[in-house]
Amino acid sequence: MAHTTVTAPSSQALRTSLKGKRWWRELGWRYVVIAFAIIYAIFPIVYIFSASLSTSGTLTGSNHLFATVTGANYAALGDTKFWTWAVNTLFIGTATAIGTVLMGAAAAYAFSRFRFTGRRVGLTSLLVIQMFPQLLAFVAVFLLLLSLGNAVPVLGLNSRIALIMVYLGGALGVNTFLMYGFFNTIPKELDEAAKIDGATHGQIYWTIVLRLVAPVLAVVGLLSFIGSFSDFLLAKLVLQSESNWTLAVGLYAWVSDQLSANWGLFAAGAVISAIPVIALFIFLQKYIVSGLTAGSIK
């Protein structure tokens, strides 16, 4: 690896051709470190991919990478509830993401554009409330759904709608701040001009502001989707029957019960569910990075 890089002219911008020891001191070691880092980062992923293709479908049989290649584990997923869980996860995640984006953006718009009594108090209370993660109140959430379910079953335990509602309870909170900062960067003069042209607040919001903040909406939507995708505690408490489970609850059940025997199934399921998330992640990488930093620093 090292040799080819040395002989090639390193960088047009710097026009310095480094040789021998100097090259090693300034550049070469970086490649070595990076190589180790990349092996470290990807070997578990390579392993799970190979395990998903192994014939035996057990933990022991998956240890020799790519010793056997077969689609049997993937085909076996069809005999399980995997696809039901995938659909549930997709439904819950998408509904939560859409709701979070709509409600968070509306709230951020109000805080950013209107001056009203209670605005400062509202922002401060949101900041305080979001410090108490919903996760901590899981006992109360469980009991709340227990009594709501007695009156309206669809809002109670073992209902996917109820779980979405619970997730939407956390829609303000962090997201509002992330969006609030972004909304503030859209010049107010734009709204003013539209207002002078006779646009209502609704038209300004839906047709002007929302279009300009589209990147942050994508970030919030994605983060919210990943949030509900990875939630385990609330999903496990609320969704009780196997056909209502999400992937997190289902895959956990496979691994915690008969880890070795279910390993092939788990590996195949994990690869299938991870691919769309990883693809989205790499695709939206730039936005996510800016969202992650801007949201918290600003």
Q: Does 78 bind another protein (CB under 8 A)?
A: no
Q: How far is the CB of 243 from another protein (least distance, A)?
A: 19
CA angle 235, 237, 239 (to 5 degrees): 60
Q: How far is the CB of 253 from another protein (least distance, A)?
A: 10
Window 12-31: residues binding another protein (CB under 8 A) = 13-14, 26-27, 30-31
Q: How far is the CB of 13 from another protein (least distance, A)?
A: 7
Window 202-241: residues binding another protein (CB under 8 A) = 202-205, 207-208, 211-212, 215, 226, 229-230, 232-233, 237
Using CB under 8 A, which of 103, 161, 210, 218 touches another protein? 103
x-or-dash pattern for another protein, window 31-60, by CB under 8 A? Answer: x-xx--xx-xxx-xx-xx---------xxx
Stretch that binds another protein, among 8-16, 69-77, 79-87 (CB under 8 A): 8-16
| Cα–Cα distance for residue pair 61/245, rounded to 1 Å | 28
Q: Does 90 bind another protein (CB under 8 A)?
A: no
Q: Which is nearer to another protein, 70 or 184 (CB)?
A: 184
Total site size for another protein, rule CB under 8 A:
128
